Structure 1
Amino acid sequence: MAVRTAPHPARSHARSRPVAPRRMPKLKTVILAAVAYVIAFIFLFPYLIMLLTALRPQSTLREATIFPSHWMWSNLANFWTGGLAHNLFVTLKVAGGSTLLVLLVALPAAYYTARYKFRGRVAFLILVLTTQMFQPTAMLVGIYREFYQFGLVDSIWSLILVNGGFNLAFAVWILNAYFSSIPRELEEAAFIDGNGRFGALFRITLPLAMPGVITALIFTFIAAWNEFVVALTLTTSPQNQPLTVALNSFIGQYEVDWQNLFAGSVIATIPVIILFALIERKVVGGLTAGSIK
């Protein structure tokens, strides 16, 4: 005889997990967040005004309103049709060449001073740091005379050399701190596995030091991208001028072409913002290198 089994009753006695009540943020946290948003708005407000001015018609620049009554998107298009795209490409070559020059010189210098305790090492690092005390504006006469004797005035190469030279000290110091924070035992283990000095550097040390390398490169790139005084002094022809100098042409003696000036400034700012946003985490990690051991 078949025995019918009753269906398994639902487990009503199963205890449901209590839902934890949502905690309200502390007053200190709310105040800190509010202050952070206010500070962020203060820093972003000039960029907002720059963007809104770039989209205003010339006839509405004196209106006492934040938002324009008529949006003029052709101001941004004039950047590409007015010849400034070439100056943007010159700026890219100068910033990229200066960054590559700093990379080629600062990496071996920082690695050698971090791994070898030679006589005069501290004096060398102090001498490198001392070069940061001199500003290019205080040495413009000497810089111009030197490049004039070498026939490099009004040349992109002069801008690459000057920007690379004045950003080299920062790169050497930050890379030296990062290489010093990497244990030597990792390289010694690579030596046992059959790697030489260059093999251990490129396979072990350099990948670990990549946040510091990116930090040095991004600061060099931004400094060369925004440089104005040396470029204004060493370049005379419009085809060799970077964008910072080319935008200065919108400032006349009696009138300023604000909408085109700000339109070019907006376009010149976008690549740097995107680049910094992509590598922001590694930049922060590189700046804190060597702070904790």
Structure 2
Amino acid sequence: MTTYDTRAPRRAPARAPRGNPGRRKRLGRIGLNTTAVVVFLFAVFPVYWMVTTAFKSSEQIFTTDFIPFPTDPTLDHVKRVFTEGVAGHSIWRYLLNSSIVAVGTVLVGAVFSLLAATAVARFRFRGRTSFLILLLIVQMVPGEALLIPLFMMVRRAGLYDQLLGLIVVNVAMTLPFAIWMLRTFVAAVPRELEEAAWIDGASRFATFWKVLFPLVAPGLVATSIFSFITAWNEFVFALTLIGDQGSYTMPVALRYFVSQRSVDWGAIMAASTLMTIPVIVFFLLVQRRMVSGLVAGAVKG
């Protein structure tokens, strides 16, 4: 008589998972957050020290003890910057000169970079690849190497000691990066959107202004931020191409607080703090526009 084993087969014991994926993920996130905090503190510390030093007394500035915050805040350095001025001129004049140069660089550079980026991304012409490579090569050349040729060109053009000449030079220095960056934004816009506008009867200019420009606006804002900060903080060309003290920009005016025998650190930090305020305000205003442009571009696309 045949008998059958009715017992259920034995299952192999389940193996314990190697490690805990959730724990590894949390540890990785903690490591990334810690690294981000360290980098943030490393970048913010000079700004924090500049602002706090502007409100410290001279004794606290030159002491060897570490003073994180001014124990007795003072406005003497700020008042001296506003009342005495720099090199015989009011501090507001230098801020106005810097604003003219920075805003002029942004406006002129935005027009030329947008048109050039559209031409490179949308049209095929002889020398297109060489032109793109040339933009990268220009970025590798340090500005100091071009100082003497640019000085001679600006002087022959009759733009020496004028803010317009400084605007032209800043546009030339920021234009390659702006064109290269905007090219990627223009290339990312589908051609079908422009073709649909042409089928509806729109002209090339109407298609560019109503279809392409709103979608490329976020990239234009990003390049404008770069151009503004570069022109606002530029020192070497402003010192070389401007001879009149009344036409100096803020970075050049700050050097008058440094003499052969002493350095007025309180006035330097106060003027530097004042110099950073327009940049922060410009960035906050443009950042809001950039976010709205991104949302509008996503809806239209």
- For normalisation by structure 1, the TM-score amounts to 0.83
Which residue in the other structure is 1:180 paired with? 187
Taking the TM superposition and a 5 Å limit, the aligned residue runs for 1:65-84 are: 65-81=67-83, 82=85, 83-84=90-91
Which residue in the other structure is 2:240 paired with? 233
Match status 1:123 vs 2:134: no
Counterpart-to-counterpart distance in 2, 1:149 and 1:244: 25
Which residue in the other structure is 2:3 paired with? none
State the one-letter code of the partner of 1:109.
A
Which residue in the other structure is 2:38 paired with? 38
**Residues 56 and 71, structure 1, Cα contact 8 Å, conserved in 2:** yes
Match status 1:90 vs 2:97: yes
Cα displacement (A) at 1:280: 4.7
State the one-letter code of the partner of 1:97.
G
User: Which of these residues, 270, 275, 281, is aligned with residue 274 of structure 1?
Assistant: 281
Cα displacement (A) at 1:279: 4.2
Cα displacement (A) at 1:130: 2.0
**Residues 261-270 or 140-149, more deviating:** 140-149
Deviations 1:60-107 (A, max 9, x none): 322212322321124234433321111011001001111111112111
State the one-letter code of the partner of 1:193.
D
Taking the TM superposition and a 5 Å limit, the aligned residue runs for 1:155-174 are: 155-174=162-181
Cα displacement (A) at 1:278: 4.5
Which residue in the other structure is 1:15 paired with? none
Change beyond 3 A, Cα 1:35–1:117:
same
Match status 1:219 vs 2:226: yes
Cα displacement (A) at 1:277: 4.1
Which residue in the other structure is 2:262 paired with? 255
Cα displacement (A) at 1:276: 2.8
Counterpart-to-counterpart distance in 2, 1:42 and 1:269: 18
Deviations 1:154-186 (A, max 9, x none): 110111010000111011111111111100000
5+ unaligned residues in a row in structure 2: which ranges?
A: 1-21, 295-301
Counterpart-to-counterpart distance in 2, 1:30 and 1:178: 34
Change beyond 3 A, Cα 1:39–1:133:
closer
State the one-letter code of the partner of 1:80.
F
Which residue in the other structure is 1:28 paired with? 28
Cα displacement (A) at 1:125: 1.6
**Residues 148-157 or 48-57, more deviating:** 148-157
Cα displacement (A) at 1:227: 0.4
**Residues 79 and 85, structure 1, Cα contact 8 Å, conserved in 2:** no
Counterpart-to-counterpart distance in 1, 2:155 and 2:31: 57
Cα displacement (A) at 1:26: 2.4
**Residues 154 and 240, structure 1, Cα contact 8 Å, conserved in 2:** yes
**Residues 259-268 or 140-149, more deviating:** 140-149
Counterpart-to-counterpart distance in 1, 2:157 and 2:32: 56
**Residues 179 and 205, structure 1, Cα contact 8 Å, conserved in 2:** yes
Equivalent position SS for 1:26: helix
User: Which of these residues, 114, 117, 124, is aligned with residue 110 of structure 1?
Assistant: 117
Match status 1:61 vs 2:68: no
Match status 1:134 vs 2:141: yes
User: Which of these residues, 203, 209, 212, is aligned with residue 202 of structure 1?
Assistant: 209
Counterpart-to-counterpart distance in 2, 1:249 and 1:111: 44
Cα displacement (A) at 1:234: 1.1
Q: Percent identity?
A: 38
Counterpart-to-counterpart distance in 2, 1:197 and 1:109: 16
Counterpart-to-counterpart distance in 2, 1:77 and 1:171: 39
CA RMSD of aligned residues (A): 2.2
User: Which of these residues, 159, 162, 171, is aligned with residue 152 of structure 1?
Assistant: 159
**Residues 136-145 or 40-49, more deviating:** 136-145
Cα displacement (A) at 1:37: 1.6
5+ unaligned residues in a row in structure 1: which ranges?
A: 1-22, 287-293
